[in-house]
Amino acid sequence: MDRRALQGWVELYERAWRSPGTELLAELFANDAEYRTSPFADPKRGLAAIGELWDAEREGPDEPFTFSSQILAVDGDLGVVQTEVFYERTQRGFRNLWLVRLAGDGRCTSFEEWFWEAPS
């Protein structure tokens, strides 16, 4: 993996979050990928489980939010990304660190999120 590949993955992640349904998850994640919503959370395993998580966590494709990201590091198959998101309807903002492992085909095999909510 290099920074360009990771940046492309992050852009696809945002596009998938903004899109109806969960079909784009197959482009983002390996079939047996693990997805953790926090460092000590039990991972969701596989596309079906990740899709269920996404459906439960987001309002839908018309949910207004801003998103920005910065790649902090890439080492082998591991990338570290800082993101910021602000959800307009709820007036809630978050800063996140993502630990992303990409396979040779560019799909994620392991995703771990560390997030902090902005003070209100």
- Asked if residues 46 and 31 have their Cβ atoms less than 8 Å apart, the reply is yes
Query: For the segment 10-41, what is each residue's pLDDT rounded down to a tens digit?
Result: 999 999 999 999 999 999 999 999 999 999 99
Specify the CATH number for the domain of residue 73: 3.10.450.50
pLDDT 10s digits, 44-90: 999 999 999 999 988 877 889 999 999 999 999 999 999 999 999 99
- pTM as predicted: 0.94
> Closest Cα to residue 59, out of 80, 87, 92, 82?
87
The domain in which residue 36 lies consists of: 3-117
DSSP per residue, 32-99: EEEEESSTTSPPEESHHHHHHHHHHH---TT--EEEEEEEEEEETTEEEEEEEEEETTTTEEEEEEEE
Report how many domains make up the chain.
1
